[in-house]
Structure 1
């Protein structure tokens, strides 16, 4: 219900704002909101050639392509005059994101189709792990800890192994594998959910822990910083880990208090200590490497682990081939059956993702997001927060809505202020410290047709706030 109302409020407020802007003269056209593409110039006026300033008219008539650009800067395009069909079209600024119709197209082609391919492959592997008995053994090993965190899940339930693989994939930056494992976990948890259209306690806990985004190897962030000529692209690794870890702990505590979980459980404390020890151990190892060593390690660890998972799954399936025979199938047929389920899951979640991304597109292109962002930045600046921090806030504000959108702000902030500035580094930490909340909710709850997300959205947004505050504190401490 909360998500539905939030979605409606974004949609309606954006449309009202656009219409009011058009009729009050603040916008010349709203076509770009429907048909425009990201980074396209925005049409702000159209005049006859004798209505433009004389120096502009002369420049246009002398220009070979009858185009004049005023104060053109590669990183910040300004006003462009184009003479065509007896009128001069005036463009200024660029579009923040794709319009409504291009968003519909790109959601299918650039997001859903690749996602379906990932789902098909990894769901095929998951089916092999299920038939071979690997998921059952993993669940038995981890049950002592998971039954404390998820008391409503029966001991040795298959969802435990799926959630473990999801957390591990997120931890190591394996985004392509994390989503299929996570969707399989939600599907498994839905089987024991007594109210099928309402999120269970276990599903909410899983979603909040997943969305907190605990990541050890922020490969993509390091890549963006390297492309922006950062002196040490990996210098934000430790702040990213600390921020995402605190976000994960906050998510666990908030949901745990709500669900009355026993935090004094010995197995729970031991599991947490093992996780902390693993993080510290890996950090100590990475910290002693030089710059080239860090880049080599971070770029290869995730890939090697992913290849290792694939190889181990195939070898185990070969060794346990008798189990496939007992199930009256073969290893290859099992993989195909799992892949087919992955395709069906991708088709199921498409409408949920489409609805959310279209609303976000309208919200950004309407200019409403930018106004709200400026208000928040203004409020922070009046509270004494430095301009370097407020310049990075657009990344934090857009991150819950759109990973691609916040990534655009991240790259822009590094290009504008420098990759090694506090703004550039803080933007990097914002980008890797949490998931895209609304996208995650649309995908995961949509995959099992849950309509009532209960307190999941509120908790995840609260965790986003915790991550933002932590990121600011950690960034100012480190840099």
Structure 2
């Protein structure tokens, strides 16, 4: 219900703002909101040739293709005059994201189709884990800990193994694997849910822990920093780990208090200490490496772990092939069955993803997001917050809505302020330490047709805020 109202609020407010801007002549056209593409110039006016300044008129008539660009800057395109069909079209600025119709197309071509491919492959592997008995063994090992965090889940339930694989994939920055494992976990938890259209306690806890996004190897962030010629692309790795760990602990405590989790459980404390110990130990090892060694280690660890998961699944299935025979199937046929289930899941979540992304696109292109962002930055700057921090806030603000949009702001901040600047580094930490909250809720709850998400959205947004505050303090401490 909360998500539905929020979706309506950003859509309706954006439409009202667009109409108001058009009526008051603050904008010239709405076409770019509907049909424009990201980074395209925005039409701000159209005049007859005699109405433009004489110097511009003369230059246009002499210019190649009768196009004149004033103060061209590849990072911040300024005013462009294009003379065509007796009128001069004036463009200024660039579009922040794709318009409504291109978003519909790109949601299918660039997001859903690749996601369906990932779902098909990893759901095929998960079917092998189920039939071979590997998921059952993993659930038995981890049941003592998960029973404390998810008291409503029966001992040795298969959802435990799926959640474990999801957390592990997130931990290693394997987004393509994390989503299929997470969707499978949600479907498994839905089988235990007595109210099918209302999120269960276990689903909320899982979603909030997943969204906190504890990450050990932020490979994509390191890659973007390397592309922008940072002196040490991996120098934000430790701040990213610390910030995401704070977010994960915050999510666990906030949801745990509401669900009355026993925080003094010995098995829970031991598991937490084990995770902290593993992180600290790995960080000590990484810090001993030189720059090349760090880059090689961080880029290879995630890939090797993914290969290890695939290899283990196939080998374990082969060693327990008789279990497939007992169920009148083969290893490959089981993989195909799982892949087909993944395909159906991908098709099912498409409308939820489309609806959310279109609303976000409309919100950004309407100009309302920019006004809110600038307003908040102005408020923060006037209460003494450093300009280096306020310059990076658009990344934090857009992160819950759009990973691609916040990534664009992150890259832009590194290009404008430098990858080794405080603003550039803080933007990277913001990008790494939180999740695309609205997209994740739409995908995960949409896959199981849960309408009432209860307090999931408010908790996830609170955790996002905690991550923002933590990122600022951690970045200030390190840089």
TM range (shorter): over 0.9
Trace 1:317-466 onto structure 2 (pairs within 5 A).
Answer: 317-466=317-466
CA distance in 1, matches of 2:437, 2:334: 33
Other-structure match for 1:42: 42
CA distance in 2, matches of 1:312, 1:251: 31
CA distance in 1, matches of 2:339, 2:209: 26
Alpha-carbon offset, residue 264 of structure 1: 0.3
Other-structure match for 1:301: 301
Other-structure match for 2:205: 205
Trace 1:108-127 onto structure 2 (pairs within 5 A).
Answer: 108-127=108-127
Alpha-carbon offset, residue 356 of structure 1: 0.2
Trace 1:195-274 onto structure 2 (pairs within 5 A).
Answer: 195-274=195-274
CA distance in 1, matches of 2:15, 2:296: 48
CA distance in 2, matches of 1:240, 1:26: 40
CA distance in 1, matches of 2:152, 2:296: 42
Does residue 95 (structure 1) correspond to residue 100 (structure 2)? The answer is no
Alpha-carbon offset, residue 74 of structure 1: 1.2
CA distance in 2, matches of 1:217, 1:84: 52
Trace 1:53-68 onto structure 2 (pairs within 5 A).
Answer: 53-68=53-68
Other-structure match for 1:137: 137
- SS of the equivalent of 2:328 reads coil
Other-structure match for 1:164: 164
CA distance in 2, matches of 1:109, 1:63: 38
Alpha-carbon offset, residue 363 of structure 1: 0.3
Alpha-carbon offset, residue 348 of structure 1: 0.5
- SS of the equivalent of 2:216 reads coil
Alpha-carbon offset, residue 383 of structure 1: 1.2
CA distance in 2, matches of 1:64, 1:255: 63
CA distance in 2, matches of 1:477, 1:389: 13
Alpha-carbon offset, residue 312 of structure 1: 1.1
CA distance in 1, matches of 2:86, 2:354: 40
Alpha-carbon offset, residue 310 of structure 1: 0.7
Alpha-carbon offset, residue 64 of structure 1: 1.7
CA distance in 1, matches of 2:165, 2:196: 24
What TM-score do you get using the length of structure 1 for normalisation? 1.00
Note the alpha carbon deviations across 1:294-320, whole angstroms, 9 max, x for none: 100111110111111111111111111
CA distance in 1, matches of 2:209, 2:65: 56
CA distance in 2, matches of 1:401, 1:478: 28
CA distance in 2, matches of 1:293, 1:38: 37
Would you say how many aligned residue pairs link Structure 1 and Structure 2?
Answer: 479
Trace 1:168-187 onto structure 2 (pairs within 5 A).
Answer: 168-187=168-187
Note the alpha carbon deviations across 1:92-122, whole angstroms, 9 max, x for none: 0000000000000000000000000000000
Other-structure match for 2:312: 312
What TM-score do you get using the length of structure 2 for normalisation? 1.00
Alpha-carbon offset, residue 65 of structure 1: 1.3
CA distance in 1, matches of 2:107, 2:73: 31
Alpha-carbon offset, residue 322 of structure 1: 0.2
CA distance in 1, matches of 2:69, 2:213: 43
5+ residue gaps in structure 2?
Answer: none
Other-structure match for 2:283: 283
Q: Which runs of 4+ in 1 moved over 6 A?
A: none
- SS of the equivalent of 1:153 reads coil
- SS of the equivalent of 1:141 reads helix
CA distance in 1, matches of 2:281, 2:403: 30
CA distance in 1, matches of 2:132, 2:224: 40
Other-structure match for 1:191: 191
- SS of the equivalent of 1:65 reads helix
Alpha-carbon offset, residue 285 of structure 1: 0.7
Q: CA RMSD in A?
A: 0.4
CA distance in 2, matches of 1:283, 1:444: 32
CA distance in 2, matches of 1:315, 1:463: 39
Alpha-carbon offset, residue 17 of structure 1: 0.2
Note the alpha carbon deviations across 1:249-276, whole angstroms, 9 max, x for none: 0000000000000000000000000000
CA distance in 2, matches of 1:93, 1:225: 26
Does residue 29 (structure 1) correspond to residue 29 (structure 2)? The answer is yes
Note the alpha carbon deviations across 1:26-57, whole angstroms, 9 max, x for none: 00000100000000000000001110001101
CA distance in 2, matches of 1:166, 1:129: 14
CA distance in 2, matches of 1:233, 1:316: 38
CA distance in 1, matches of 2:111, 2:73: 32
